[in-house]
């Protein structure tokens, strides 16, 4: 029982830290085109809202991960490590 509680609380801490990390990376690497609030700008599409979620709900997070890694940041793809891309994508769904 205690073990389960411990795991549950550790996981929660980990994922909120991951989301935080994701949003810091986001501001530095992505916000200039996708907007600080994920709503998009003239330079990049929205990474939230119905259109984005509808488009991706049929696909897997793995596909989104591969696409993001291969194409983003648009000016410098592949410039982050896997953990950073994962944290970024995680932060879009928090």
Residue with smaller CB distance to ligand HEC, 14 or 93? 93
Q: At what angle do helices 82-92 and 61-71 cross, to 10 degrees?
A: 120
Cα(78)–Cα(68) distance, integer angstroms? 9
Structure tokens at 67: 């696409």
Residue with smaller CB distance to ligand HEC, 12 or 78? 78
Smallest distance from the beta carbon of 17 to ligand HEC, in angstroms? 18
Q: Which residues of the shown chain bind ligand HEC in the complex (CB under 6 A)?
A: 29-30, 32-34, 43-45, 47, 52, 55, 64, 68, 71-75, 80, 88
Structure tokens at 6: 């411990």
Residue with smaller CB distance to ligand HEC, 10 or 71? 71
Structure tokens at 77: 């793809």
């Amino acid at each position: 029982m205690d073990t389960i509680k411990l795991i549950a609380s550790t996981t929660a801490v980990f994922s909120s830290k991951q989301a935080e990390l994701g949003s810091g990376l986001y501001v530095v690497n992505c916000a200039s085109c996708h907007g600080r609030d994920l709503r998009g700008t003239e330079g990049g599409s929205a990474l939230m809202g119905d259109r984005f979620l509808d488009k991706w709900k049929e696909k897997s997070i793995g596909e989104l991960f591969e696409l993001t890694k291969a194409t983003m940041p648009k000016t410098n793809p592949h410039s982050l490590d896997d953990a950073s891309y994962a944290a970024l994508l995680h932060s879009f769904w928090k």
